[in-house]
Amino acid sequence: MSKTIMIVDDAVSIRGLASMTLENSGYRVIEAHDGQDALEKISRQKVDMIITDLNMPVMDGITLIRELKANPGYKFIPIVVLTKESEPDKKTEAQTAGAKAWIPKPFKTKTILDVVKKVIG
């Protein structure tokens, strides 16, 4: 059975490219347009990994990471940040909240696949 990855990003183009890249490599993908949407969707299905942007409306990525890590049912799901942010403080904040890795945008498809394989196989 293939592993399920949730892509959380308010940009349809980023979600689409990431989804297509992962699906073509055999992963199942669930898309969410912000942190709140992600929390609603994750409550209905098992997810093996989450890739999230930081800057989104309604609920940003840092808040999403904190919410997930505070919930016993989700705290062990690995989370990777995919963002245009390059501030060292933001990276530290994401890691402190519980992010496992950081992928800068724009991303190369090989980079996202390499990170996913390293994190969940």
Question: Domain 4-120 carries which CATH code?
Answer: 3.40.50.2300
Which of 18, 52, 17 is closest to 33 using CA atoms?
A: 52
Model confidence at 1: pLDDT above 70: no
Give residue-wise pLDDT tens across range 12-26.
999 999 999 999 999
pTM of the model: 0.94
Other CB atoms within 10 A of residue 70 CB? 11
* Segments making up each domain of the chain, as ranges: 4-120
Give residue-wise pLDDT tens across range 69-119.
999 999 999 999 998 877 888 889 999 999 999 888 888 889 999 999 999
Helix 109-120 vs helix 12-23: crossing angle, to nearest 10? 60
